[in-house]
Structure 1
Amino acid sequence: MTVNTRELSTIESTILAYFQALNDADIESILDLYSEDPVMLPFLQPAVVGANAVRANYESTFQLIRFEVQTTIQELVEMSPEWAYVRTDTSGIFTPIRTGEGAPAAFHELFLLRKMGNEHWQIARYSFSPAGALPPI
């Protein structure tokens, strides 16, 4: 398959927009980046399946935590005209709302993106895990 740098740039933009929306605790912008049938695979938690469940997960998360993170794309592969994956390493400050005391945190993420027709690349599956200890929520 020929590498399409325009598509790779668009995929990268989707991931960077996700982390900006995460830092802004902007649920609507985050959900706009997901496909209609998303699945999240949080570390040590049950799968979060479907748009309503993903929304509820972010609502709950932002009641507990604020993020100030930066991500580095380690791997970005367009597997077909409809599917791509992105592996990232993310680090920054993880602040539990209860304490207000930020602490350094790092995560590994894997995104599976899907493009339907001429639509934008959207996050279809998202898995993440901490790369070290996190402060208590």
Structure 2
Amino acid sequence: MNGQSKDIAAIKNLAQEWNTGWDRSDTEALLSLYTDDPVLIPQGQPEVIGKDAIRSLYSLLFAEFAVKGNGRAVKVETSGNLGYFWSSYTLTATPKAGGDQIKGEGRSVFIVKRQEDDSWKIALLIDNCDRE
């Protein structure tokens, strides 16, 4: 397997770990997939900058909802120490206090950076929900 093929396989694995973290409502597992200085740009909301801010957002979400999703990396590309993947997803958020489920689907773009240990981490995530 050549270098670029290994990088693409590693990024696809990162995408799978992302899905697993969401299905387990595991804030720390998700945060481990980000660089030290990430930016999250959710649709219709201000950007969320830094791991502490993202931790607060995810912790609040997982405290209030049980989230189940299904994501699929559609395209993965790399060039040097940068890469991206875009994915399509569906998700269902069930309020833990009771009430109607929230269903969503959309696409996300993940900009990833190679780390010093040769792993890939999410530097920037842009979400585009088609339906909420």
TM-score after normalising by structure 1: 0.86
Bigger Cα displacement from structure 2, 92-101 vs 6-15? 92-101
Cα distance change on mapping 1:7 and 1:91 into 2, 3 Å: same
Matched with 1:108 is 107
Runs of 4+ with deviation above 4 angstroms: none
Counterpart mapping for 1:21-100 below 5 A: 21-78=21-78, 80-100=79-99
Cα distance change on mapping 1:117 and 1:81 into 2, 3 Å: farther
Matched with 1:19 is 19
How many residue pairs match? The answer is 131
Gaps of 5+ in 1: none
**Other structure's SS at 1:117 match:** coil
- Mapped to 2, the partners of 1:58 and 1:103 lie a distance apart of 16
Could you tell me how far 1:117 is from its partner in structure 2? 2.5
Task: Name the amino acid aligned to 2:87.
Answer: T
Could you tell me how far 1:4 is from its partner in structure 2? 1.6
User: Deviation string for 1:63-105 (max 9, x for gaps)?
Assistant: 2332211112111111x22111111000142323343543542
- Mapped to 1, the partners of 2:3 and 2:116 lie a distance apart of 18
- Mapped to 1, the partners of 2:94 and 2:4 lie a distance apart of 38
Cα distance change on mapping 1:100 and 1:5 into 2, 3 Å: farther
TM-score after normalising by structure 2: 0.89
Identity %: 21
Gaps of 5+ in 2: none
Coordinate RMSD, CA, aligned: 1.8
- Mapped to 2, the partners of 1:103 and 1:50 lie a distance apart of 27
Cα distance change on mapping 1:73 and 1:4 into 2, 3 Å: same
Could you tell me how far 1:3 is from its partner in structure 2? 6.8
**Other structure's SS at 2:46 match:** coil
- Mapped to 2, the partners of 1:66 and 1:109 lie a distance apart of 20
**Other structure's SS at 1:118 match:** coil
Task: Name the amino acid aligned to 1:18.
Answer: W
